[in-house]
A and B are shown apart, each in its own frame.
Chain A
């Protein structure tokens, strides 16, 4: 019977061509939406790697004109001490401009373990940084005062970079950078757990964490402050005054990391929602069209269906034939569609894990089958209801 249906569909390929291409495009759209969705969900399930509640992010225009390293450091130490004298402030760390959820990035490439690795995010923070955002060490330690001694060339990396460069082995004591260029070579002293600094729906990117140095202080424009849960708006206003007075000549803005997280999540969620709404309507559109065409085809094939009934097909037989035909059509479309879809993991187009594509592919296949099933059930029932005695005498 299956072969018979295949033959029937094959011989009608001209009429079925449009239907197949329509299902094909729907499949591709669904595949795209599912890939995006599954990727986001997959990332969402990963731990954040840090605490953002009760952390304030301050950005200020650079207030210092001096280039003298000691006076720079002294200036920023004073600001920090002023802040820490406030009872609600737990910990303070200056940071490079790419603070978590900030949408700004500093990227670099590096030779590690014989591989040239691109797109490494470069963060800078102080010794107090882990205390502010509560980041966790996977291995080794974070920086301390000794790392500031001249000639010390230490580096902290994140788990993602470690796994990409070295695999799942202990790496403390190993080196980063091209061995031929000693000025770019660093010793790994610690590995931190991944931080999703681009929001909940982004995958943890490769990262190195530097200890803030003189050059860092020269351009610094951000700090992170961990405050007590009791800190309220009145405190924030006091904090603002303290900052404005200490950083004279600077414009100052205070933000909550928790709010920054919400707004950066929107950067993923809003396109996702728009995409889903558009895709949803497209699919409704296609479903109605599919339903309409199948339904109409039943009317056109009344003679054939009546004949099949006369020759011994049961009502259920006829209705399942209609459903099967639609399913085979969908299968044709999806074989073609899958050919295109597997190019994404094979060619590594968007640098997503292959698993995401595979799950998205399977989910799309199931979705399209379900859609086609729903659209063909009623026409199938209609076909079963055709009265052979009437259908055979209509011409």
Chain B
């Protein structure tokens, strides 16, 4: 499903050159739940950004599905992210000025779809995360766990094949974290969604199919 070949990422400033990722080769199968661990600054977020096509590698190739992505332009990348990928972040990144349902609808806005359809899908997605009673609340009126569930609903509303989660439980206590983890695992099990998750939490990581460890930009296991 996801194939990374010889990925290298170098950050340059005027004085220093930092090697963030060093020849990463990684293959994720369809329906796999993969977690990436490593200390702060090891490059795991960079790796997730590259998989999410938010960042381009300095060298190396990425294919997602059958699609090689190296030559895609801004417009194609945007459309590709919109259809194939869903994102979940540690700090939720909800738009505080929009109601929950509007936040969830967000990815659908960048597709051609009628308002009614959008609303329908968004409501369904919220049902799946157990928030159908919070549709018209604003994010600021919700708890952290609820907010992250809204973020998950937003990630799945477009039915992507891949979900990329960047420390989804990092801001939550263990009970709420477990709740979120359950939802993700259900998604993986029932819908066959491929999930790549970056985490700090060994417990969470061990619940996934496979664990990849990074250290100083290199893959260590």
Contacts and interface: CB of A to CB of B under 8 A. Distances in A.
Contacts, number: 80
A314 B49 CA distance: 16
Q: Which of A4, A309, A311 has the most CB of B within 10 A?
A: A311
Interface string B71-88: 000110011011101010
Contact of A314 (B74, B97, B158): B74
B82 A389 contact: no
Contacts of A304: 93, 95
A16 B221 CA distance: 52
Given A311-B81, A311-B87, A388 B110 contact: no
A119 to B, nearest CB: 55
Contacts of A303: 91, 93
A254 B115 CA distance: 78
Nearest to A314: B78
Contacts of B74: 314-316
A308 B154 CA distance: 12
Contact of A312 (B46, B49, B79, B95): B79
A313 interface: yes
A190 B45 CA distance: 91
B109 A1 contact: yes
B106 interface: yes
B106 A311 contact: yes
A392 B109 contact: no
A395 B91 contact: yes
Contacts of A395: 91
B54 A389 contact: yes
Interface string B32-70: 000000000000011001001011000000000000000
Contacts of B85: 310
A8 interface: yes
A311 B156 CA distance: 11
Interface residues on A, range: 20 to 34
Contacts of A8: 95, 97-98
Contact of B107 (A311, A314, A388): A311
Nearest to B155: A311
Nearest to A395: B91
B98 A3 contact: no
Given A304-B95, A389-B54, A310 B115 contact: no
A377 to B, nearest CB: 18
A392 B97 CA distance: 18
B82 A312 contact: yes
A183 B93 CA distance: 87
Contact of B75 (A311, A314, A393): A314
Contacts of B82: 311-312
B84 to A, nearest CB: 10
A393 B102 CA distance: 23
A393 B167 CA distance: 11
A392 B115 contact: no
Interface in A378-395: 387-389, 392-393, 395
24 contacts: A7-B98, A8-B95, A11-B99, A12-B97, A303-B91, A303-B93, A307-B87, A307-B106, A309-B78, A310-B52, A310-B54, A312-B78, A312-B110, A312-B111, A313-B78, A313-B110, A314-B75, A316-B74, A317-B78, A387-B55, A389-B55, A392-B93, A393-B45, A393-B166
Interface of A: 1, 3-4, 7-8, 11-12, 303-304, 306-317, 387-389, 392-393, 395
Q: Closest 8 A-B residue pairs measured CB to CB?
A: A312-B82, A389-B55, A389-B49, A389-B54, A314-B78, A312-B110, A311-B107, A11-B97
Given A310-B87, A311-B106, A313-B110, 8 more contacts: A1-B109, A4-B109, A8-B95, A312-B107, A312-B110, A389-B55, A392-B89, A392-B166
